[in-house]
Structures are given as structure tokens and as C-alpha cells.
Structure 1
Amino acid sequence: MDEVWVLLQGIALGFAIAAPVGPIGLLCIRRTLQHGPLMGFFTGFGAAVADTIYGAIAAFGVSAALSFLRGHETAFQLIGGIFLLVVAVRTFRQQPDAEEREAAAAPDTKSWFTGFMTGLSLTLTNPATIMAFIAIFAGFGLGGTLNRLEASTLVLGVFIGSSLWWMTLSMGVAAVRHRISDRGLTMLNHCTGVALGAFGLWALGMAATGLAGMA
């Protein structure tokens, strides 16, 4: 299989998996509006790194890692659900102010790192991500049929595609952020907090179902 074609497939897969609006997408949009495009991008970039890790597991067919993830799916859902609820509450309660707008013009490295770790942690604790990669790879006949070079190229493509989506989203939102008032940002915080809370409750519900099944 031609490596260029494998790279293009990886880019398409990474973009497609990152694009649906979920918890990270909502955080990326809100943080871009409130703290600037770099903060939004680094939040998504954390998710891109997590996507790459899970993509590598699926591409190389690491059976031990797959077994561990499947065997601890309930624990991941529990941790991810709690984490999402914490982020949801903080997001809902946060009020935009003049200092934050000034900080958005020159956010510090610590803020970027915080955004990166949030995106990374939320995506790594979402077992649906690895399952999505496995299903898509199987559907396209990828994964176990690839040699090491092709698998590495595919994973690189996933990283590029996912990162490209987060850059596109953060830059697109940044283009309109100055048109949104503080009241609009407050409403966005409330809506994002409610949506994140819903995702968190869904994850906890799935975890509870899993625990009930093991009882």
C-alpha cells in the first residue's frame, strides 16, 4: 500500500474522529472565545495527542492494551464522568470579565498547559475513542493488515488530521470572538456547562450499568 495514500487516510480518519462536537469541542470553543485561540487550540491539541495514542493502539493491534481498555471500560467511564462534572460546574459558574479579555491577548504558558492536560485527560478517559478507532479501522480494512511503516504513517496521519481540525476550529471561532459580548459569553458558559454535565452524567450512567452487570 502506498505510504502517501496511507497518510491521507490517516489524516481523514483523524479529522473525522475529532470533528463531531463533543466535550472537547465545546471546551475548545468556549476557551477560544474567553481566553484566545491558542488556549482553545491547546485544549484540542491535548485531544489530538490522545487520539494519536489510541490510533497507535488500534493501528498496531496491541492486544494487551486493547484487553486492558476493554477490561477497565467502566473505570474509565467513572473517572471521565466525574472529571466532566467538575469541569462542567467550573464552566457554568465562570463569569467573563475585563481581565480575562486582556489575558486572552497574551495567555501564559501555564494556561496553555492546563488546556492541553484537560483535553488529553478527558479524551484518554473516554473509552469510546479507542472503540471508534477499532471500528473505523476494521471498516476500512486497516489495522492488522498494515506493516510497521504503514501503521506508523497512518498514526502520523491521524495526528495531523486531528490537530488540523482543532486548529481550524479555534481559528474560526477566534475570527468572530470580538463580536460576542460578555452577556453572550456568560450564556455560552452556562450552555457549555449544562452540555458537559450531560456528557458526564451519561458516562456515569454507563459506568453504573457496567457495575450493575458485574454484580
Structure 2
Amino acid sequence: MTAAGPGLDLGPALLGGLLAGWGIAVPVGAVGVLLVLLGAHHGRRVGCAGAMGAAVVDGVYATLAVVLGSALAPVLVRAAAPVRWTAAVVLVVVAVLLLRPALRPSDAGPSPAAPDAPGMTPSRAFTLVVAATALNPATVVYFVALTSGAATTTLTTPAHRVAFVLAAFAASASWQLLLGSAGAWAGARLTGPRGRRWTAVVGALVVLALALRTALAG
């Protein structure tokens, strides 16, 4: 029992995973903006479904970094340009999808709560955010750097690696869910069609700006 104790000390791996997950999730970029807008325009269920999509990708990338390690880095560097342009195109598509509600003629009929408005369901939001998040090789490089550096002293067994990945996923999910819920909270206060139309336009312009920045980066 005592001999197994040190080997089962998962504290450092859990702490490292939490810090890694929050470190990659908290800086608000295109995905963060998208989650807030999904929550604002389609309700909490849709926003949180998108949030889980982002968290799943972060968890998968953390797993790849732990399993494959620094072997991924050269591949990602070579693929950086095509992935960057693909990401920019995806963001443009996202901006168009966000803008569509603003271009629809407003009907006389009321549009209550609209948590699952036509054209966007939780499953579609999940898929959309998975695609937008996956096209960010910087996430893999980030996790590779962490797991190939000083963190290797704490990720010495399969149990430690699993603990790191689960903690990174949980940390990312906690922040992404906060963004999706915050968007839904704000959207519930934008009950008028004019408010929703303007937030759709502003959101689409923000995502277009992020697409342009992504295309010109590097």
C-alpha cells in the first residue's frame, strides 16, 4: 500500500491539466465569440452544445499531445499555411450563418424564446464548433509544448496522463459552458427583433474580422 502511494499521486497531473485547459480556453478568440453568439441567438441548450464541442476538441488535442508528443510539432509547422486558410474560410461561413437571421424579413407572428430556432440545433452547433475549433493547430502545439517540457516529470504513468487529459477537458468545458450560458443570459434580454438583428450583424462582423486576422497571420 505505501509503495503504491507515490505512484498514485495524481495531484500535479490534475493541476497541470486544469491550468492547461484554462490557459487555452480563457483567451477569447473566434470560438469564444461564436459560443456567446450561439447562446444569445439560439438559447442555452444550443450555446452549451457548442461549448461541449470546443471542450471535446481540446480534450482530443490534449490526448494527441500526451500520446504522440513532440512528433506532432514538425507536421503542424508544415501544414500551418493550408490549415490557416481553411480556418479563415470556415470562419467566413460561420459569419454568413450568423448573419442569416438578420437578413430574414420579420414576420408579424411572435417569436418566443426561440431556444432552438430553425437552422440551428444543439447537434448542429456542436458540429459547427468542433469544425471551428479543430482548425486551430496552435492548440496542439500548445499542449505539445506543455507535455514535452517540464510537465514530463509529472506525466510519468498512464494514470497521470489520463488525469492530465481529463482535467484539461474539464477546465476547458467549464469555461466554454460559461461563455455559452452568458450568451444565453444576454440573449434573453434582447427580446425584440431589432435587438436580435443588430447583435447578429455585429457578431457576424466580429467573426469576419477574426477570419481576416486568421488569413493574414503567420
Q: TM-score range by the shorter chain?
A: 0.7 to 0.9
Matches within 5 A, 1:72-151: 72-95=79-102, 101-104=112-115, 111-137=121-147, 141-143=150-152, 146-147=155-156, 148-151=158-161
Instruction: Tell me, yes or no, if structure 1 residue 169 matches structure 2 residue 194.
Output: no
TM-aligned CA deviation for residue 170 of structure 1: 2.3
Deviations 1:173-198 (A, max 9, x none): 33343221332222221221112112
Instruction: Measure, in 2, the Cα distance between the counterparts of 1:58 and 1:189.
Output: 36
TM-aligned CA deviation for residue 122 of structure 1: 1.0
Structure 1: gaps (5+ residues): 210-215
* Percent identity over paired residues: 27
Asked if the contact 2:87/2:211 (under 8 Å) is kept, the reply is: yes
Asked if the contact 1:43/1:116 (under 8 Å) is kept, the reply is: yes
Asked if the contact 2:58/2:139 (under 8 Å) is kept, the reply is: yes
Instruction: Measure, in 1, the Cα distance between the counterparts of 2:101 and 2:12.
Output: 45
TM-aligned CA deviation for residue 164 of structure 1: 1.0
Change (3 A) 1:172 1:86: closer
Q: Which residue of 2 aligns with 1:192?
A: 203
Q: Which has the higher helix share?
A: 1
TM-aligned CA deviation for residue 29 of structure 1: 0.9
TM-aligned CA deviation for residue 101 of structure 1: 4.2
Instruction: Tell me, yes or no, if structure 1 residue 13 matches structure 2 residue 23.
Output: no
Deviations 1:112-165 (A, max 9, x none): 1111111111111111222233345567x2147622221111011011111111
Instruction: Measure, in 1, the Cα distance between the counterparts of 2:161 and 2:110.
Output: 46
Instruction: Measure, in 2, the Cα distance between the counterparts of 1:136 and 1:187.
Output: 41
Deviations 1:18-73 (A, max 9, x none): 12211111111111111111111111211111111111222334344333222211
Residue 37 of structure 2: which of 18, 25, 30 is its match? 30
- Local SS of the residue matching 1:142: helix
Asked if the contact 1:42/1:113 (under 8 Å) is kept, the reply is: yes
Instruction: Tell me, yes or no, if structure 1 residue 205 matches structure 2 residue 212.
Output: no
TM-score, normalised with respect to structure 1: 0.82
Change (3 A) 1:145 1:7: closer
Structure 2: gaps (5+ residues): 1-5
* Equivalent residue letter for 2:45: L
Give the root-mean-square deviation of aligned CA atoms: 2.6
Change (3 A) 1:80 1:111: same
Residue 169 of structure 2: which of 148, 159, 169 is its match? 159
Change (3 A) 1:176 1:62: same
Residue 57 of structure 2: which of 30, 50, 53 is its match? 50
TM-score, normalised with respect to structure 2: 0.81
Q: Which residue of 1 aligns with 2:46?
A: 39
Asked if the contact 1:79/1:125 (under 8 Å) is kept, the reply is: yes
Which one has a bigger Cα radius of gyration? 2
